[in-house]
Structure 1
Amino acid sequence: MDNVVPAGSTATSSTSTSTLGHLALGLTLLAFGVGHTGVIDNVTAADASAVATWVGGVALFIAGLLEFRAGSAGTGTAFAGLGAFWFTWGTGVGTEVSAEAAGLFLLLWALLALTLTVASAGSGLFVQGVYGLLTVTLLLLGIASFAENGGLAKAGGWVGAVAGLAAWYGATAALAKWPAFPRRAAGRGVTATG
């Protein structure tokens, strides 16, 4: 019996992997963001470390490898890169580092998020919006860490939570076949694409 699995880079398998990746990213961002806001008593960003390590790190990295295999270099890069970020962050929680080192870590990863934002220009508003909000989240948290400013960290947490909700909604809409945006009436000579 042949144990080799064919690559089978169909649009359906890539779409499924992409949806799974966006769900993983959304849930991780939501947990990470809410933890930074302080909106729930006794819940901090550090409490999201297990979600970040396993869902945001391992699952997202594997989704990235599957996207590469399906021929989607952009989504593969996004998921694998973000998987590496979440795994590194999740396993590093509790490690004693200076505020400056933590700020630098977040700002360096904000560069990846910025790259993903720019590179996803043709991927749709949800995808580009999620990466854009992630960029803002990491910038705010990085600057907050350098400045040791709790208010700025909470603002970054709120932006991260919104990014997580957007990623979750986009993936859920894809699975449920909901429209990503309400359809608008098309004017003369304009087509409504949804």
Structure 2
Amino acid sequence: MPQTIVIKDQTANPGPLGLLCFALTTILLSMHNAGFFGIDSAILGMAIFYGGIGQMIAGIMEWRKNNTFATVAFVSYGCFWLSFAAIVLLPKLGLIDKPTDVGIASWLGVWGLMSVVMFIGTFRLNRALQIVFFLLVITFALLCIGDLTANAGLKNLGGWFGIVLGFSAFYTGLAQVLNEVYGRVVWPLGPVVKK
């Protein structure tokens, strides 16, 4: 009879990394959207290296752990941040025209649509992720409609929702770190009972 070899995965949980990459970059851009300051190299640097590349690395690590939801989320939103940086930088470099308000609204709208589907996926995960993705959908909706209607108030409100979103993702990522380090629930995530 042939022997069965079982390989135990002992790699670290990449989820907190992906969540923190998303959280801190979202807080920074949302502060801009809320009117605290303009787009600058701090936002773009964060979008490229932490929100973009860092999240994509976390997503690839999640793929290795056979976690489809996290792979799709982290790689996709990592690409969101890289595309955001490209949208800002490419016109400044004279390589392409600046997008119209309708173009930006469409870009935000398709990301909002994807976020709705990902939000549905969180119904089988935990309450903390449900809050993150719910706030993400609301933030995309406000920013999309704000750009589509040229309503600065809605875009500003989207910035405030984005700040809350960023801090909720920050909590969710750090809760996973602390709960693992202490071997018990330090910060609850609100597990969902799967039927």
Taking structure 1 as the reference length, the TM-score comes to 0.81
What is the letter of the counterpart of residue 161 of structure 1?
A: I
Aligned partner of 2:15 among 18, 22, 40:
18
Q: Distance in 1 between matches of 2:143 and 2:70?
A: 25
Q: Distance in 2 between matches of 1:8 and 1:111?
A: 37
Name the structure 2 match of 1:85: 80
Question: How much does 1:28 deviate?
Answer: 1.1
Q: Which runs of 4+ in 1 moved over 3 A?
A: 7-10
What is the letter of the counterpart of residue 30 of structure 2?
A: G
CA contact (8 A) 2:60 2:75 kept: yes
Is residue 48 from structure 1 mapped to residue 31 from structure 2 by the alignment? no
Aligned partner of 2:150 among 140, 148, 151:
148
Q: Which runs of 5+ in 2 are unaligned?
A: 1-6, 92-97, 180-185, 191-195
Cα distance 1:72–1:181, how it changes in 2: closer, same or farther (>3 A)?
A: closer
SS of equivalent to 2:14: helix
Is residue 167 from structure 1 mapped to residue 164 from structure 2 by the alignment? no
Q: Distance in 2 between matches of 1:88 and 1:120?
A: 25
Question: How much does 1:8 deviate?
Answer: 5.9
Higher mean alpha-carbon deviation, 120-129 vs 146-155, is at 120-129
Q: Deviations over 1:52-103 (max 9, x none)?
A: 1211111101111110111101111111111111110122115311111011
CA contact (8 A) 1:102 1:142 kept: yes
Name the structure 2 match of 1:180: 188
Taking structure 2 as the reference length, the TM-score comes to 0.81
Question: How much does 1:45 deviate?
Answer: 4.6
Q: Distance in 1 between matches of 2:131 and 2:19?
A: 12
Name the structure 1 match of 2:120: 118
Q: Distance in 2 between matches of 1:154 and 1:111?
A: 21
Q: Which runs of 5+ in 1 are unaligned?
A: 1-6, 183-194
**Alpha carbon RMSD of aligned pairs, Å?**
1.8
What is the letter of the counterpart of residue 171 of structure 1?
A: G
Name the structure 2 match of 1:103: 105
